Structure 1
Amino acid sequence: MALPTEPIGSIPRPAELLSGSSPATSAAIDRAVRDTVQRLEELGSPVVSDGEQAKPSFATYPLAGLPGLADDGVVIPFADGHQRRLPQLTGGPFRYGGHAVEYLRAAQRHASVPVKQAVVAPSMLSLLYPAGGIDGYPARQFLDDLADEAEADIRSCLDAGAHVVQLDFTEARLSLKLDPSGGLLDTLIALNNQVLDRFSPDERARIGVHTCPGADMDSTHSLDIDYAALLPRLFHLRAGAFYLQMAGESDPDRALSIVADHLPSDARVFIGVTDPIDPAVETPEQVRDRVLAAARHLPADRLGTCDDCGFAPFADDVSTSRETAFAKVAARLQGTALAAEALGV
């Protein structure tokens, strides 16, 4: 397939990972990872992932088992009224309790095609630090520790052979709701670039950034924020690829024109062509037409396709069925192939 296409991240977990209150067994998790990888390959996906079957959430996997955390951190409000709350750091030094390479290696054991790995962006974890500070552990030291840990998380995946490492930067658009001046967004981008700058140009070519307005329990946290306020700043990130929510956007043509004006010359953009929070499964023809719309703004050799977001970014999200998610993936793959044929690439 001349137009690259990749999954974003989470696939809804099977019932045995959702039922009951006891932790899932390692055997159950391995079965879920194997089934996810195999089904993606059977659909013809040229790149696969583990579907985040073992992650408690896309954002909190580094925090498992860590001391020094309280449950009264930043609140993320969603449009339907539900909320997610991040933990709050109460002491230092900050260290990851788990690393994404563990999930990568688990998927690689079952894969016969390249495997990508999503990691939480350091900008998201920076929100763990309380506004009032921590005695004996200044914010500057925390951010230095966080940058070291984030670098190690990314580098270990690259070293283990990840096709690409994707930084999940879902809080980018949300930050403009929290701070309409854009100052918070600029701070988050600077932190992510501080980490990205530790990698060589060849390494950064294998590092991408994903952004979306959230996709949890069929709701978003920042879709009401104008995409035009985010996109030009987003492309200040020194990454080799950008994965952009687009299928659920109210005016994708306007957004795509902004992408065309600001996409760095050495980067590829993957356009979201399936909407995880829409219960209707896209047809391959709908996907094709979304790609062709993007190709009116961007050259085909700089385009790829993806899903707008993960289908179940938190382990308790059952709003989308596993079967629906795979049906949407199938539509993405088939529609991308149709678009490539139409574009003659």
Structure 2
Amino acid sequence: MTRLLPTSTAGSLPKPSWLAEPETLWSPWKLDGAALTEAKEDALRVALCEQQAAGIDIVSDGEQTRQHFVTTFIEHLEGVDFEKRETVTIRNRYEASVPTVVGEVSRQKPVFVEDAKFLRAQTSAPIKWALPGPMTMIDTLYDAHYKSREKLAWEFAVALNEEARELQEAGVDIIQFDEPAFNVFFEEVNDWGMATLERAMEGLTCEKAVHICYGYGIKANTDWKKTLGQEWRQYEEIFPSIRKSSVDLVSLECHNSHVPMDLIELIRGKKVMVGAIDVASNVIEKPEDVAATLREALNFVDADKLYPCTNCGMAPLSRDVARGKLAALVSGAAIVRSELQG
């Protein structure tokens, strides 16, 4: 991007009612077969139009082609049985029924590549596409085969790299790996988690992003946040490793959080997607609220490396609220951009 303060979203946008239940996270599809494919494409067009109408610079599919940000990718891999389910604790926060790894995992076919080609055909704007990161993938399964979080992460990294390379060939400009697990398993991140993410990014010439947030605005996450005190310093544990990595962009949760903004100094030199929109609230930010967050971030990241963004995905919100938040993000960025350009 050559534009100063290019805007983007961290991930999902609300799905239309013909595709899935509105304002419901990870709602099942309402259609199947060819009808589902057509509905996803229609929803992708709508999500793109919403972003274009708001003035978002770096667009995405709004995750209209994914039911779940992790398991939709896993569904297409060999070695995972979705009928054989176990209950696990996700990121030390809440229990969930998850599929089981029963054999060697591998990617036999593309997962999102055709969707990315479809989006590329609809727009000339820069495209960002999200994939789950290896560590977050292993935290969303029961492993009855490898019985080693590290071994399974390395296998997933190989599959992710295959997908990422084909997404790049399909015309994706930025590939984002979602790693909320990085905010929980600090020792593992520094021991082998960052290394598996590097394996997932191996050989990519497009820009590479990692998204590390405190989660959607669901009760399990908001309850967890209440236990973190007045300062959320989790990023401090992992930023040194990220700074030394080949990651180009780092997506962070900032607005309405207790993350000390000066932690961004630890990744000086990286491009930073500063979360200036609170996705855990239905309150639509005022442009000046967004501008204030961005101004504070500019104390710790150079203007040419600041990318105004949302804290996380907006799938659980209403379409009206999400639309308002997109507009606020763009307007707030425009205020600061004008200030910077004199």
Alignment-derived partner of residue 74 in structure 1: 88
Structure 1 residue aligned with 2:37: 26
Q: Which residue is 2:129 aligned to?
A: 117
> Structure 1-normalised TM-score?
0.83
User: 1:269 and 1:90, CA in 2 relative to 1: closer, same or farther beyond 3 A?
Assistant: same
Distance (Å, rounded) in 2 between the aligned partners of 1:112 and 1:218: 38
Q: 1:102/1:207 Cα in 2 relative to 1: closer, same or farther (>3 Å)? A: same
How far apart, in 2, do the equivalents of 1:186 and 1:246 lie? Answer: 26
**Distance in 2 between the 1:156 and 1:55 partners?**
18
Does residue 305 of structure 1 match 2:298?
no
Give the TM-score normalised by structure 2: 0.83
Match status 1:166 vs 2:176: yes
Partner of 2:26: none
Match in the other structure for 2:339: 342
Cα drift, residue 113 of structure 1: 1.5
Asked if 1:329 corresponds to 2:326, the answer is: yes
Equivalent residue, structure 1, for 2:116: 104
The answer for the alignment partner of 2:299 in structure 1 is: 296
Please state if 1:231 is matched with 2:236.
Answer: yes
Note if 1:3 corresponds to 2:5. yes
Given that residues 74 and 88 in structure 1 are in contact (C-alpha distance below 8 angstroms), is that contact kept between their aligned partners in structure 2?
Answer: no
Offset of 1:302 from its aligned partner? 2.2
Q: How many Å apart are 1:63 and its aligned residue? A: 2.1
Structure with bigger strand share is 2
Give, in angstroms, the shift of residue 248 of structure 1.
3.0
CA drift at 1:324: 0.8
Q: CA deviation at 1:309?
A: 0.2
Which sections of structure 1, spanning at least 5 residues, go unmatched? Answer: 177-181, 313-318
Aligned-partner SS, 1:282: coil
Distance 2:150 2:183 in 1: 24
SS of the residue aligned with 2:209?
strand
Counterpart of 2:139, as a letter, is: L
Question: Which of residues 75, 84, 99 in structure 2 aligns to 1:87?
Answer: 99
Residue 25 of structure 2: aligned partner: none
- The gaps in structure 2 that reach 5 residues or longer are 22-28
After TM superposition, list the pairs within 5 Å mapping 1:35-74 onto structure 2. Answer: 35-64=46-75, 68-69=80-81, 70-72=84-86, 74=88
AA in 2 matched with 1:15: S
Give the residue type in structure 1 aligned to 2:215.
Answer: G
RMSD of aligned alpha carbons: 2.8
Tell me how many residue pairs correspond in the alignment.
321
Deviation track 1:183-231 (CA, whole Å, cap 9, x = no partner) reads: 46643223212333x226xx2x600111101105465265344642333
Contact 2:217–2:281 (Cα < 8 Å) also in 1: no
**Structure 2 vs 1, CA of residues 106 and 294 (structure 1 numbering), >3 Å: closer, same or farther?**
same
Equivalent pair of 1:75/1:86 in contact (CA under 8 Å): no
Assess, with a 3 A threshold, how the Cα gap between structure 1 residues 76 and 127 changes in structure 2: closer, same or farther.
closer
1:50-69 superposed Cα distances (whole Å, 9 cap, x missing partner): 11112011111222255642
d(CA) in 1 for partners of 2:155, 2:91: 28
Within the candidate set 274, 283, 290, 1:287 is matched to 290
Give the letter for the 1:257 counterpart: D
User: Residues 208 and 249 of structure 2 are in contact (CA less than 8 Å); yes or no, is this contact kept in structure 1?
Assistant: yes
- Indicate conservation of the 8 Å contact 1:77/1:84, yes or no: no
